[in-house]
């Protein structure tokens, strides 16, 4: 069984939501990425969303765009990310889903990319720039290999298209809580609960909510109505405070404490 399915099954039996932190691979370097993943797991994170740096991000706001730029300047490539994950697997079995641009997947061939991702120890992909109507080949490849392709639903998604996405998504559904790009928000949109409940009528697949979730209070609200809470920009912003410094054990611990507070909020 895929690690993502296993984790959500475990959490559902406990009636707890998954906490899913996002970080950019290679920001500030891959050793720190590895250390942060292990720290987040220790703090109670359930699944990691690992961004593969890309020069032209589609849905990412300025905070995550800046983290991609820092990683790319350091020369981080997909092969380096895969190698880091492969080495991490000797220390951790935490599910890892990678956010990646479809152009990166397509460039080397969908089947080849999925095979390499599986060999590295990844459990799935989120691909924000791949329309659900255009991914049949990739979905079939992933299905045969028990690898998950996670789809996005936005507040503006029509009911008809929402049903299609709910039917095709694997592992979990990623519900975007705001219209626009990733970033820190002051409050959660009121239509989130309504749309999550609508999705629950369409599918039994877990529903995780991201974009704009930035405080333990946000995480608590989202955790009460969804199967997963995704936090990205707030964590990357916390890391950004140390962007020009050395990520020693004290810094890793500090960021871990920030994530731990979000975990507690989500599972409260």
Q: What is the pLDDT of residue 134?
A: 83
Does some domain include residue 211? yes
Q: Which domain holds residue 25?
A: 3-262
Under the banding of pLDDT at 50, 70 and 90, the label for residue 188 is low
User: What is the H or E stretch that residue 10 is in?
Assistant: helix 3-14
List 5, 46, 49, 123, catalytic entry: 49
Does some domain include residue 268? no
List 5, 27, 60, 123, catalytic entry: 60
Under the banding of pLDDT at 50, 70 and 90, the label for residue 180 is very low
Does some domain include residue 34? yes
Q: What is the pLDDT of residue 145?
A: 97
Does some domain include residue 27? yes
Does some domain include residue 267? no
Alpha carbon 243 to its chain centroid, in Å, reads 21
User: Is 97 exposed, middle or buried, given 0-12, 13-18 or 19+ CB atoms closer than 10 A?
Assistant: buried
Into how many domains does the chain fold? 1
Domain containing residue 194: CATH number: 3.20.20.70
pTM of this structure: 0.93
Dihedral of the alpha carbons of 28, 44, 146, 171, in degrees to the nearest 10: -100
Active site residue 60: yes
Does some domain include residue 172? yes
pLDDT at 59 over 80: no
Give residue-wise pLDDT tens across range 84-114: 999 999 999 999 999 999 999 999 899 999 9
């Amino acid at each position: 069984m895929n690690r993502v399915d296993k984790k959500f099954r475990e959490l559902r039996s406990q009636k707890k939501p998954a906490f899913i932190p996002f970080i950019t691979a290679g920001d500030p370097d891959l050793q720190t990425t590895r250390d942060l993943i292990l720290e987040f797991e220790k703090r109670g994170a359930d699944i990691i969303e690992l961004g593969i740096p890309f020069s032209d991000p589609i849905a990412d706001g300025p905070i995550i765009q800046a983290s991609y730029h820092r990683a790319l300047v350091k020369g981080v490539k997909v092969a380096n990310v895969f190698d880091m994950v492969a080495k991490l697997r000797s220390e951790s079995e935490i599910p890892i889903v990678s956010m990646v641009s479809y152009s990166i997947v397509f460039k080397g061939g969908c089947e080849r990319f999925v095979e390499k991702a599986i060999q590295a120890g990844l459990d799935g992909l989120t691909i924000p720039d791949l329309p659900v109507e255009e991914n049949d080949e990739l979905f079939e490849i992933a299905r045969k290999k028990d690898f998950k392709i996670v789809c996005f639903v936005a507040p503006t998604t029509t009911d008809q298209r929402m049903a299609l996405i709910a039917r095709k998504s694997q592992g979990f559904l990623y519900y975007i809580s705001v219209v626009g790009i990733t970033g820190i928000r002051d409050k959660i949109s009121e239509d989130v609960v309504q749309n999550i409940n609508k999705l629950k009528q369409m599918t039994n697949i877990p529903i995780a909510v991201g974009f704009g979730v930035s405080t333990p209070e946000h995480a608590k609200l989202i955790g009460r109505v969804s199967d997963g809470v995704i936090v990205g920009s707030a964590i990357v912003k916390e890391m950004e405070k140390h962007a020009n410094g050395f990520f020693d054990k004290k810094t890793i611990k500090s960021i871990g404490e920030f994530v731990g507070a979000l975990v507690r909020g989500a599972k409260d």
